[in-house]
Amino acid sequence: MKPGTNKLPMPHPKRGYMPRLWSDIWKEWDLYLLLVPGILFILLFKYTPMYGIVIAFKDFNIFTGLADSPWVGWKNFEKLFTSPDFALVFKNTVIISLLKIVILFPLPIIIALMLNEMKNMIFKRSVQTVIYLPHFLSWVIVSGLFIDLLSTNGGLVNKLLVSLNLEPIAFFLDNSVFRSVLITSAGWKETGWSTIVYLAAFSSIDPVLYEAAKIDGSGKWKQLWHITLPGIAPIIILMFILRLGSILEAGTEQILTMYNPVVYKVSDVIGTYVYRQGLGNQDYSFTTAVGLFEAVISFTLVIVGNSLSKKYLQRGIW
């Protein structure tokens, strides 16, 4: 304030978003330049193919091309919702995905908590390495391993059952046990990799909190409940919301390498159904409609999951 005046100086007007953005780009042009390859990749491989969505509303013919194929409106979606095959496929997809969430989602959290309490670093690192290595194997290799392991003709598991005077089990031909094979193999392959995410999240927890808890007389369980779990809660919520977005995926690649017509009744999911109809029967319009339906449901689940998380847990991914 100037002497002799009682007027406050006018605040400097805030700049708009675009001027601030261009100013930041000008100052950090080299960092923004590094974004260009990633942006081009997303535009080329993620956004450009979205034009193909129009196939869902056309009677697409590969010989006449996309532009000349006649429009059919919602006909493919009507076929989708009235198809008895799709009703079974949708049911299988939801059941398998929910089983994986309920059984497999907590496993990496539990394993990470156990590894975090280990004091022997050599043993801890060894276990950590062993459990996440299967992630780097393709599903073709993993399915081959499980087929050999669970085969009725010389498989190790069935040999053990026979030695115990029990009947051998046709794991890949029995509708009542095939889903358990899918859950077990998915857990063996991916649990270790997810564990790494939670182990990394522990590093963000301030060690002073544990020291203060020990001084107050808190045991391991109280520290776990009041410090560790709240400390990794944002990562747990993030992983869960992302998992909701892929609930209709259900592990298509895994099932394609493991299933057979005998167990279609309990294992045919949206992804495998689209594969058979699209490539096998060349019904591209119908399978595009199925894929669009799956994408819309997945997007909706992510939005709803994030909204509920922000409402009740005051945390979200945006």
Residue with tokens 């309990």: 266
User: What is the CATH number that goes with domain 83-282?
Assistant: 1.10.3720.10
* Domain boundary assignment for the chain: 83-282
Helix (H, G, I), strand (E, B) or coil at 317: coil
Identify the burial level of 193 via C-beta atoms within 10 angstroms of its C-beta, where 0-12 means exposed, 13-18 middle and 19 or more buried.
middle
pLDDT per residue of the chain (318 residues) written in tens, 0 to 9 = 455 555 555 544 556 778 888 888 888 888 889 989 999 999 998 888 888 888 889 888 888 888 888 888 888 888 888 888 888 999 999 999 999 999 999 999 999 988 888 888 888 888 888 888 999 999 999 999 999 999 888 889 999 998 888 888 989 988 999 999 999 999 999 998 889 889 888 888 888 888 888 888 888 888 888 888 888 888 888 888 888 888 888 888 899 999 888 998 999 998 888 888 887 778 888 888 888 888 888 888 888 888 888 887 777 777
This prediction's pTM: 0.81
Q: Coil, helix or strand for 71?
A: strand
